[in-house]
């Protein structure tokens, strides 16, 4: 297939590299000229295997006709990308973002395009403009926003690879909700307390706060809290030594994805129903402002 990947972050580079290894014809669409140049000169380098994949890089404004477009930009950049892609002739889209803040955008786009919500469970760290390290293997899950499950199965089968498996899910909301629970509990706590994922269940008090966050999230999303807590605990154990993306963002002074995660839940529910989620939402916003030196006193 002719596949365009929008976004040159860790997820974009990882996905581009693997799909290229599967003999797809891959183009990466980026925002900055320097990244376009570096990828075109050096290809995408995938660590730790140390393989190079020769993909084409173009500016986001130069989008060509593709058989599939995979949007990998951070959730808070989805709206910018939407301006570029909404005008394209009909093409299938896959969205790979954390959180649920981009649901409205996906729904709007699905009026004229096939749209698949995606969840990527891999770990990846961008080393430089054209190099990405694959730090944890997982699944890419896809689900049709239009309930075209057979299309999702066909697409998953088409792009699945031995080192980069893709599966189709029936329910896009349930799939995103499952991921949101994980992110709503682990990400803000690891960022606020500067701890690895394991401490979220390993520290007695963080464990109690985490349970509260899990309960609140399940209340908003109408999920079974006991089952979800087992999932959260399991992920914390399996990734005990990992540093969450939000922790890294806070420590680097970068913008976090809190708006699409806890912020989405705060928008959906009254504060009295989810006070712990409201607290961590404001806390991460406070840390973002502090790192920028914002103050309004």
Each as own residue / partner, the long-range contacts of residues 105-110 (CB below 8 Å, 24 or more positions apart, any chain) are: 105/78, 105/79, 106/145, 107/145, 108/82, 109/82, 109/85, 110/145, 110/146
If one asks whether residue 143 binds its own copies (CB under 8 A), the answer comes out as no
Residue 285 known to be catalytic: no
Residue that is written with structure tokens 């309930």 in the block: 147
Q: Which of 96, 201, 232, 246 binds its own copies (CB under 8 A)?
A: 201
If one asks whether residue 243 binds its own copies (CB under 8 A), the answer comes out as no
* b/e map 197-208, b = 16+ CB within 10 Å: bbbbbeeeebbe
Which residues are CB-neighbours of 141 under 8 A, at least 6 positions away? 118, 119, 121, 166, 167, 168, 169, 175
- Pick 173 or 193: Cβ nearer its own copies: 193
If one asks whether residue 246 binds its own copies (CB under 8 A), the answer comes out as no
If one asks whether residue 208 binds its own copies (CB under 8 A), the answer comes out as yes
Contact 283, 104 (CB under 8 A): no
- The residue from 179, 247, 285, 292 that is catalytic is 179
Contact 106, 118 (CB under 8 A): no
Stretch that binds its own copies, among 7-15, 31-39, 116-124, 195-203 (CB under 8 A): 195-203
The size of the chain, in residues, is: 297
Alpha helices in 137-224 (DSSP H): 149-159, 172-193, 199-202, 204-221
- Pick 82 or 279: Cβ nearer its own copies: 279
- Pick 20 or 209: Cβ nearer its own copies: 209
Three-state secondary-structure class, residue 88: coil
- Pick 51 or 237: Cβ nearer its own copies: 237
If one asks whether residue 87 binds its own copies (CB under 8 A), the answer comes out as no
- Pick 151 or 199: Cβ nearer its own copies: 199
- Nearest distance in Å: CB 89, its own copies: 43
If one asks whether residue 237 binds its own copies (CB under 8 A), the answer comes out as yes
- The residues that touch its own copies, with contacts defined as CB under 8 A, are 192-193, 195, 198-199, 201-209, 237, 240, 275-276, 279, 282-283, 285-287, 289-290, 294-297
The residues annotated as belonging to the active site are: 179
């Amino acid at each position: 297939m002719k596949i365009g990947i929008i976004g040159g972050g860790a997820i974009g580079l990882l996905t581009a590299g693997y799909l290229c290894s599967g003999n797809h014809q891959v183009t990466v669409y980026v925002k900055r000229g320097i990244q376009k140049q570096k990828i075109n000169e050096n290809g995408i380098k995938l660590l730790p295997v140390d393989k190079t994949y020769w993909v084409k890089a173009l500016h986001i404004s130069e989008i060509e006709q593709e058989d599939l477009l995979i949007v990998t930009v951070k959730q808070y950049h989805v709206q910018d990308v939407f301006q570029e892609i909404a005008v394209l002739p009909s093409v299938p889209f896959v969205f790979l973002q954390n959180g649920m803040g981009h649901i409205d955008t996906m729904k709007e786009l699905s009026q004229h395009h096939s749209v698949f919500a995606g969840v990527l469970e891999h770990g990846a760290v961008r080393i430089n403009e054209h190099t990405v390290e694959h730090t944890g293997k997982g699944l890419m899950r896809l689900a049709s926003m239009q309930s075209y499950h057979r299309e999702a199965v066909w697409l998953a089968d088409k792009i699945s690879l031995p080192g980069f498996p893709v599966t189709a899910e029936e329910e896009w909301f349930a799939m995103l909700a499952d991921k949101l629970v994980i992110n709503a509990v682990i990400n803000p706590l690891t960022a606020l307390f500067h701890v690895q994922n394991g401490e979220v269940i390993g520290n007695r008090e963080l464990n109690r706060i985490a349970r509260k966050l899990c309960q609140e999230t399940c209340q908003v999303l109408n999920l079974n809290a006991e089952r979800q807590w087992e999932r959260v605990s399991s992920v914390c154990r399996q990734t005990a030594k990992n540093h969450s993306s939000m922790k890294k963002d806070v420590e680097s002074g970068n913008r976090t994805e809190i708006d699409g995660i806890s912020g989405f839940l705060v928008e959906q529910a009254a504060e009295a129903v989810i006070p712990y989620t409201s607290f961590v939402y404001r806390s991460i916003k406070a840390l973002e402002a502090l790192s920028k030196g914002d103050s309004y006193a």
